[in-house]
Amino acid sequence: MMRTVSVAETRPSTHPWAVHAEKLQVKAGRHLAVNELDLTLGTGVHGLLGPNGAGKTTLMRALATVVKPSAGRLTLLGEDVTAGADLRRVRRGLGYLPQHFGFYPRFTVREFVEYLAWLKEMPKTVIPAAVQRAIERVGLADRADSRMKTLSGGMLRRAGIAQAIVNDPEVLLLDEPTVGLDPEQRFDFRELLRDIGLDSCVLVSTHLVEDVAVACTDVVLINDGRLVWQGSADELAQQGGTDDAGDSATERGYSALLRAHRGRVSA
C-alpha cells in the first residue's frame, strides 16, 4: 500500500521552540488585554487557563497572527512576527480554531475543509488526502458530504477542528474546542490532542480544568493578561489545599494560584 505523505513531512525541521513571547502586549480595542507577558512553548499539549477576561482569547488571536501586538516581541516558528516577518510563511505552519468561526452554510464538510486548506496555501496535490484524513480524525467521515447547515453544534465544532489540523500544523491553537462535544467525543478529542502533541505545539484555551488535567502535558495560567504560573498538570494539582475551591485537586490548585496572584496584585 502506498503511504500518504503528510504536509508536515514536506516542511523543514521543527524549531527549538514554537512560541516565544517577551514582554508581549496586545490590545482588545482600547483595553490592554495581554500585558507584559513572557511565554515559551515547545512540542506538546499546553492548556491555557484563566478566568473570564484574563486575556486568553486575545493571546490566541495574537499567536494566530489575527491581531498585531502593540509592544514586546513575539516569535512563532523561528520568525519574529513583531519585526516584519513573512506572515504568509508563518501561517502555513499554523492551525487555528477560534471560539466562534464562520462558514458558508451550503458548503459540505469536505468543501469547508478543502476551502480552508486552499486558504492555507497547501499544495493542490496533497489537499484531497489531507482533507479526508482530517475529517476521519475528528470522526466526521460519515458526514463528509453533509452540508454545514445540517450539522449539530458538536459536529460543527469537530468540522472546525478538522480545518485547523488539515495542514498538520507545527503550532495548533484551539480556543474552547470542546464546547458542544458530548463526553465520548471529548474523550476522543483528548486522544487526538495527545497524538498531535507528539510532534507539534498545541495550545488549548479552555474553562474546563479537568480537560487540561487529562490531556495536557503543560499548563499555562494567565490573569489580567500576565503569566501567573506554568508547569505540569501534576504540579498544578499540588498547589492547592483542602480550603481552596474545587471538586478535584487540579481545580483546587487552579483556585489557589489565582487567589495568590490576586493577593499579590492588590498588596
267 pLDDT band (50/70/90 cuts)?
low
DSSP 3-state percent helix, strand, coil across the chain (nearest 5): 40, 25, 40
Q: Is 177 within 8 Å of 189 (Cβ atoms)?
A: yes
Q: 3-state class of 109 per DSSP? A: helix
Which of 34 and 7 is assigned the larger pLDDT? 34
CA angle 236, 44, 258 (to 5 degrees): 25
Mean pLDDT of the residues in the chain: 90
**Residue 73: pLDDT above 90?**
yes
Say if residue 230 is exposed, middle or buried (CB neighbours under 10 Å; 0-12, 13-18, 19+).
middle
- Mean pLDDT across 169-190: 90
Whether the per-residue pLDDT at 100 is higher than 80: the answer is yes
The angle formed by the CA atoms of residues 123, 128 and 134, to the nearest 5 degrees, is 100
Look at residue 180 in the predicted model and tell me its pLDDT.
82
As given in the structure block, the three cell numbers for residue 82 are 513583531
Which residue(s) pair with 28 in the sheet?
31
User: Does residue 189 come out as left (phi exceeding 0), alpha (psi in the -120 to 50 range) or beta?
Assistant: alpha
Radius of gyration of the chain (CA): 19
In terms of pLDDT, which residue wins out, 264 or 158?
158
Model confidence over 232-242: pLDDT tens digits?
999 999 999 98
Q: With H, G, I as helix, E, B as strand and everything else as coil, classify residue 215.
A: helix
Residues 102-118: tens digit of each pLDDT: 999 999 999 999 999 99
Grid cell listed for 79: 520568525
Q: Which residues contact 4 (CB under 8 A, 6 or more apart)?
A: 129, 133
Q: What pLDDT score does 179 carry? A: 82
Confidence of residue 13 (pLDDT cuts 50, 70, 90): very low
Query: pLDDT at residue 28 above 90?
Result: yes
Measuring CA to CA, which residue among 177, 172, 184 is closest to residue 46?
A: 172
* Residue 125 in this model has a pLDDT that exceeds 80: yes
Candidates 185, 183, 126; CA nearest to 160 is 185
Residue 5 confidence (pLDDT) above 60: no
Q: What is the mean pLDDT of residues 30-56?
A: 95
User: Does 140 have pLDDT greater than 70?
Assistant: yes
Write down the pLDDT at residue 209: 86
* 81 three-class SS: coil
Mean pLDDT (whole number) for 119-145 = 97
CA distance 16 to 149: 41
pLDDT at 70 over 60: yes
Q: Is the pLDDT of residue 46 over 70?
A: yes
Whether residue 158 is predicted with pLDDT greater than 60 in this model: the reply is yes
Report the pLDDT value the prediction gives residue 15, as an integer from 0 to 100: 59
Confidence of residue 210 (pLDDT cuts 50, 70, 90): confident
SS3 225: coil
> Is 0.75 topped by the overall pTM?
yes
